[in-house]
Amino acid sequence: MENVNLLFSIDDHFVTQLKTLLFSIKINSPGCSFHIYILQKKLRRQKELLTFCQKIEIDCTILTLKKDKFHHAPQTKRYPETIYYRLLAQNYLPDGVEKIIYLDADILCINNILPLYQTDIDDYLYAAASHSQLTNFTKVVNKVRLKMYEAEEYYNSGVLLINVPQAKKKINAADLQNFIAENRTTLILPDQDILNSLYGGQIYSVPDQIYNYDARKSLIYEMISGGSWDLNWVIAHTVFLHFCGRDKPWKNEYRSKFALLYKHYAHLAEKIC
């Protein structure tokens, strides 16, 4: 059995969603044991989460960010301070953690996570997926906006396989803070913009249709694949469904083709505790 390290950065508003994600990972990744790390400042629902993890046999370590390193960074209700924590996560992980998968909480796992974890990124800081094949216009806009003229892709930061030793060597808080100070007026997707601007050239690209499927764009995925990446293909091959954007599957008004799938996992997770 292979141990897989997972990283999350949440506040109390996303504990329920994280429980759904963890449950979906656990049941779809046989042959894996899991140790999760929660990077946070003050998690009031910590006991609830620890109890849930114990019941589904996942080890959980709470990591507390003691200093407010991102108080000066752009923040909104949609983009709280916690979104930045993944960028410095390697500084809080214990010795011995060589690689870890960071996941946003608005994700559902529907196939085995192990192939991503076993991806060789010895020569990279991260592995991540780009959504550029869904909209080349956005790719061009991001290159101009962030002056990333040489960048091949603009990567989504919601799924990151992190090379921890390399991240400890090459990423420091001062660089992040300086970049934010100099570019805060142009940051739209703040943490993602920072990741791509500073470290985009050190990211190993993985296919988004498998590891970061944008649930809003199912019709586009089908169209660009000539109909191959239909619902049956997604169920058989996609590992992470990512519910990007404002519409979320835990909301009553959500009506995507994946709504029932997400609500089913959420229902099963809620029955555990």
For the chain, what is the domain count?
A: 1
CA angle 23, 7, 264 (to 5 degrees): 20
Residue 61: what pLDDT?
96
Q: What is the distance between the alpha carbons of residues 200 and 155, in angstroms, rounded to a whole number?
A: 7
Residue 79: what pLDDT?
58
Which stretches of the chain are DSSP H helices?
Answer: 15-28, 46-55, 114-117, 136-145, 164-170, 173-183, 190-199, 208-211, 218-224, 231-237, 259-272
Q: What is the distance between the alpha carbons of residues 6 and 160, in angstroms, rounded to a whole number?
A: 10
Residue 145: what pLDDT?
44
Q: Are 187 and 179 in contact (CB under 8 A)?
A: no
Residue 251 corresponds to which tokens in the numbers above? 């909301």
CA distances 192 to 49, 86, 87, 106, 195, Å, are 27, 10, 10, 16, 5
Residues spanned by the domain of 67: 2-272
CA distances 152 to 27, 143, 148, 155, Å, are 35, 9, 9, 10
CA distances 268 to 22, 30, 56, 113, 273, Å, are 11, 18, 12, 20, 10
Query: Which of 193, 6, 10 lies closest to 117 in space, CA to CA?
Result: 6
Query: Which of 188, 205, 203, 198 lies closest to 148 in space, CA to CA?
Result: 198
The DSSP bridge pattern shows strands 2-8 and 32-40 to be: parallel
Q: Are 273 and 52 in contact (CB under 8 A)?
A: yes
Q: Is 73 helix (H, G, I), strand (E, B) or coil?
A: coil
Residue 271: what pLDDT?
94
pLDDT along the chain (273 residues), means of 10: 94 95 97 94 90 97 77 60 80 94 97 98 96 58 45 85 96 83 72 88 96 95 94 98 94 92 97 87
User: Residue 174: CB partners within 8 Å, gap ≥ 6?
Assistant: none
Residue 27 corresponds to which tokens in the numbers above? 């049941």
Q: Are 214 and 134 in contact (CB under 8 A)?
A: yes
What is the per-residue pLDDT across 138-183, written as a single tens digit (0 to 9) for each? 544 444 444 543 446 889 999 999 999 999 999 988 888 888 777 7
What is the per-residue pLDDT across 94-121, written as a single tens digit (0 to 9) for each? 999 999 999 999 999 999 999 999 999 9
pTM of the shown model:
0.90
Residue 140: what pLDDT?
47
Torsion of CA 13, 17, 222, 200, to 10 degrees: 60
Domain CATH for 107? 3.90.550.10
Residue 172: what pLDDT?
87
What is the dihedral sign for C-alpha 243, 219, 101, 148? negative
Q: What is the distance between the alpha carbons of residues 50 and 70, in angstroms, rounded to a whole number?
A: 27
